[in-house]
Amino acid sequence: MQRQIILASQSPRRRELMMMSKLPFTDVNPVCEEVIRKDLPLNEAIAYLAYTKAKTVFDRFPQAAIVGADTIVVLDGEILGKPKDEDDAVRMLRLLSGKEHLVITGVAIISEDETTTFYNETLVEFYELTENEIKEYVKTKEPLDKAGAYGIHARGAFFVKKINGDYYSVMGLPIAQVYKLLQKYL
């Protein structure tokens, strides 16, 4: 049964990935409070946050298939979300320098027939970063709206030594999994 597909996100990267799929979709801003539940394992809590975003949009468009997603960076048990400001971005990049960290992207797809949630975990290792590299990168403003203060798809790619997992999940949406799941709505 063909349904309208809606991406519950205002992320330019998620939009770009959905456009790569060639699936017909629109995007709607999910207006909701983004709180990570402490009563769930972290990976499940991120999937639940994706569900919360999708559900907010589904309540307005119940005949559609809604895709919600959320991404976090975790280093030594500390969640590195979007930096508060440039100083916070510098702090995060110093922490990530020369280390391996985990990127978790949770996804939810909601329709009137079913709800699917899952998460994708990817390990990313950074090269050692110089203080100058960090400060020059932060000056670009690129890291200010990204979990962990870097964009793997742009200048942040120069910091990545290796990746073990789904590159697109680090960008914010494991598009191959999403694409496969959305086929039933076309």
Catalytic positions, please?
A: 70
Q: Which helix (H) or strand (E) holds 16?
A: helix 12-21
Half-sphere CA count of 139, side-chain side, radius 13 A: 6
Listed residue (93, 75, 178) closest to 133, CA to CA: 93
CA distance 51 to 102: 21
SS3 100: strand
Q: Which residues of 129-158 are buried (b: 16+ CB within 10 A; e: fewer)?
A: beeebbeebbeeebbeebbbbbbbbeebee
Do the strands 160-164 and 115-126 form a parallel or antiparallel pair, or are they unpaired? antiparallel
Query: What DSSP character marks residue 132?
Result: H
